Structure 1
Amino acid sequence: MEAWENNYRQRGALWQGTNSGIPSFSLGTRVLEVGCGNGKTLSTLCRSGCDATGIDIAASALRLARVTVPTAHLVQADVRSLPFCNATFDAVIAVHITGALRETDRYRAAAEYWRVLVPGGTLFFREFTVSDFRCGKGRPTEKNSFLRGDGVMTHYFTTPEVSSLFSEEKWRGDIQTNRWEMRVRGTRYPREVLSALFRKNIQKDGC
């Protein structure tokens, strides 16, 4: 938490530009974005008429988001223990947040995504893969997890790992690999993410 607080406090809006690949939702869809940061994705959701809620562990991020997206519901919370009843949301967006957690906490977060979704609800997931050029940079903390100089940990996923995290018992959906190159001062660096649109298997659950 302290690392994210410091990053937003010192650097301001970390996430800017346009959103890419985020699903479109119909008017009034109840969407939760976990790790909403300074509100980049939330602003897109609100413009499309979603009933958007964003949570972040960093108060400094939420202060920025309140300016960027004044119409969104914002809550300071931990993704491992979401402060919402079962089946509260139609959709959850988890982009580059699950990979900031250790292995046991990644499973806790996945269970929370499932819990707060309505039966048949949608989860959009995106994280970097082990083929991304940044994998291996920093101090190792767990297998394929590295701590950078800014104090933020990133885990780099494999497809089987994502399949294990979102098992067929609770989810259905396909995992896709997206690869591109980033050019810096004439040098090309490979970037790669795994993206998935999962649906919660229809089961009875209550608050």
Structure 2
Amino acid sequence: MDPSTETQDSRQNKQPKQQLSKGMEHIRYAVTIDPIPTTKSTPPPTSSTPPITTDPDTYGVPASIEPVRRAPERSHSPTNNQKRTDPFAFGSRFLEEGDDIFEFNAWDHVEVDATYKEFSVQQYEKQRQDPVNEFDKKRFNDNPEKWWNLFYKNNKSNFFKNRKWLAQEFPVLDEVTREGCGEVKVLEVGAGAGNSAFPILQKSKNPGLKIHACDFSKKAVELIRGNELYDERYIQADVWDVAASEDSENGGLPPGIQEGSVDVVLMIFIFSALSPKQWNQAVRNIWRVLKPGGQVLFRDYGRGDLAQVRFKKGRYMEENFYVRGDGTRVYFFEKEELEEIWAGKRDGESQGLNGSEVDQSLAGQVEKLGVDDKETQTAGVRISDSEKPVPRFEVAHFGVDRRMLVNRQRRLKMYRCWMQAVFRKPGTDSEVPTSTLKQDKAAVEEEES
């Protein structure tokens, strides 16, 4: 027998790899894929698919604020093979009935199946029944930076991949890096080891772009400062807690940042690391640093993500809020929940306050206490962070990114869910929301002259 044939046959007869780690065996039946038909009942989309429009959205913000999306296409042609693009264009690959899901590694806009949904409900109930004990809950909540310091001490800058897809998901980041854009200040909150900041700087042709990369982990900041690309002319890294009180150092603002001086705030998987009790103060601090018209670029975990469903006993701290095995915390959001936090929207109606209303409300609370602003310091009277009013951002864009990742060898399906939004501070001081805004401004100036 031909040795090569024998080798091939023996490979085919080998047992498949263990599908799941021991710690995930409980999730096996909900993520394992049964054999599927290879015939398709629905033909793939053709090139006649309508192009993406560029009309303004319902908030009056130019559509270029939305993520860049191609028309649906699954061609394997070398001239149009989505698997080879860098970065890969998310949001364009739709799973249809009868498709071979192993044709690609990931599919967009996929709702979970009934088995996974039922398993999720069962998992949530088990998590609630066996929560983190009170002693550990206090330990993890009282000093969260300690656990992130340990994380970056152990993982250095190798844990997260560079986020080359950021400009595709948030077009304003492409705008601010263009030559001639002028002076632009970007604040990244929860910058980690610089996996977002450095890719932005590497593509930048704008000498006026300055990134302030902040993290409440001292080890993370050290990693950024030690990077060979670190140049203080274009990037400044500092320790800062986004939920810092106004009574803390520098008035609760990041080092080197003044109120109303930032054009863009980048928050990628950072809000979920905060306790729900810290959300309001974080939103207030972001409002304070942004210029009117400035944007918050937001991406974080959504409820039902595999990372939430797979948690077992001893990880649940409160509803949708967990502690990982390394001591770091994570929250999983609903779309409506984030809209309420950032825009004060409840049942479709805005309930929050704008900037002047926040000031008036705060003054009213101080007046209720029977003291003026100066006396609040001398008399020791302090309004707690949870009692302070929260400003209202505009929701310029909001998307729920539901994706199914597959593993061909292990025949697994993994449902992921992320929340992605652009929140905007009302006003027009910031000059870098989109190129469309600049064109509109130029047209107005030309008409006036």
TM-score using structure 1 length? 0.91
1:8 corresponds to 2:152 = yes
* CA RMSD after TM alignment: 1.9
Structure 2 counterpart of 1:171, one-letter code = F
The residue aligned with 1:65 is 224
The residue aligned with 2:297 is 124
| Contact kept in structure 1, 2:214 and 2:239, CA below 8 Å | yes
| Contact kept in structure 1, 2:242 and 2:285, CA below 8 Å | yes
TM-fit CA distance, 1:19: 2.8
Q: Separation in 2 of the partners of 1:183 and 1:63?
A: 36
Give 3-state SS (helix, strand or coil) of 1:70's partner: coil
Q: Report the structure, 1 or 2, having the larger strand content.
A: 1
String of CA shifts for 1:32-74, please: whole Å, max 9, x gaps: 0000000011112223232111001111111211233412111
The residue aligned with 2:91 is none
The residue aligned with 1:19 is 164
| Contact kept in structure 1, 2:292 and 2:428, CA below 8 Å | yes
Q: Separation in 1 of the partners of 2:225 and 2:170?
A: 21
Give 3-state SS (helix, strand or coil) of 2:397's partner: strand
Specify which of 157, 161, 173 is matched with residue 333 of structure 2. Answer: 157
| Contact kept in structure 1, 2:306 and 2:415, CA below 8 Å | yes
Unaligned runs of 5+ in 1: none
Structure 1 counterpart of 2:414, one-letter code = Y
Q: Separation in 2 of the partners of 1:106 and 1:186?
A: 39
String of CA shifts for 1:115-143, please: whole Å, max 9, x gaps: 10001101101111002111141511121
Task: From the CA coordinates, give the structure whose radius of gyration is larger.
Answer: 2
TM-fit CA distance, 1:203: 8.9
| Contact kept in structure 2, 1:45 and 1:52, CA below 8 Å | no
Structure 1 counterpart of 2:402, one-letter code = R
The residue aligned with 2:240 is 77
Task: Give the aligned length.
Answer: 204
Counterparts of residues 180-199 of structure 1 (less than 5 Å): 180-184=403-407, 185-199=410-424
Q: Report the structure, 1 or 2, having the larger helix content.
A: 2
The residue aligned with 1:93 is 266
TM-score using structure 2 length? 0.43
Change (3 A) 1:22 1:186: farther
Give 3-state SS (helix, strand or coil) of 1:192's partner: strand
Q: Separation in 2 of the partners of 1:129 and 1:108?
A: 21
The residue aligned with 1:108 is 281
Q: Separation in 2 of the partners of 1:95 and 1:44?
A: 14
